[in-house]
């Protein structure tokens, strides 16, 4: 595999491709920092270990399409509160896919004179995301 531009990246939500996207902010994982310094430490620097990990919210945005089943699915998930399987499938040259479970916690539309109508969807990622080799192109 090699490096690639982002053209061809897909967001799949509950096995439906979300169309019209021009931005996916991606998966961000952070771990708590736990201070384990004790009286035997004479270095003057704190000793730390990683703790609980947390995945930040994921946002995706693009152009609202009244016929797009993936956009409709995102809006329906906001109403239902269901947590469903999702994927970010990168282009074939990258050969990687993020797989994760998430629920929709925000859906926004916007309109400005001289511009296309836009939307943004926010996902709360639940549990452990996995970055692995893509099995097949979606």
- Which tens digits make up the pLDDT trace of 45-61? 999 999 999 999 999 99
User: What pLDDT does 39 receive?
Assistant: 95
% pLDDT > 90, the chain: 90
% pLDDT > 70, the chain: 96
Residues in the chain: 138
68 CB contacts (<8 Å, ≥6 apart)?
18, 19, 20
Answer yes or no: are the C-beta atoms of 27 and 100 closer than 8 Å: yes
Angle, CA of 121, 52 and 45, to the nearest 5°? 125
Task: For residues 133 and 44, give the distance between their C-alpha atoms in angstroms, rounded to a whole number.
Answer: 43
pLDDT above 80 for 137: no
Which run of H or E residues covers position 127? Answer: strand 118-133
Name the band, by pLDDT with cuts 50, 70 and 90, for residue 88. very high
Residue reference for tokens 């995102």 = 74
User: What pLDDT does 3 receive?
Assistant: 82
User: What pLDDT does 84 receive?
Assistant: 98
């Amino acid at each position: 595999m090699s490096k690639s531009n982002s053209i061809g990246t897909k967001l799949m939500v509950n096995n439906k491709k979300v169309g019209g996207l021009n931005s996916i902010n991606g998966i961000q994982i952070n771990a708590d920092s736990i201070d384990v310094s004790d009286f035997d430490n004479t270095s003057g620097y704190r000793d730390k270990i990683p703790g609980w990990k947390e995945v930040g919210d994921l946002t995706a945005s693009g152009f609202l399409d009244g016929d797009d089943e993936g956009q409709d699915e995102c809006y329906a998930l906001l109403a239902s509160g269901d947590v469903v399987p999702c994927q970010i499938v990168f282009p074939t040259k990258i050969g990687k896919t993020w797989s994760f479970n998430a629920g929709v916690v925000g859906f926004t539309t916007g309109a400005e004179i001289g511009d296309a109508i836009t939307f943004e969807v926010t996902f709360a990622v639940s549990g452990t995301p996995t970055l692995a080799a893509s099995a097949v192109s979606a």
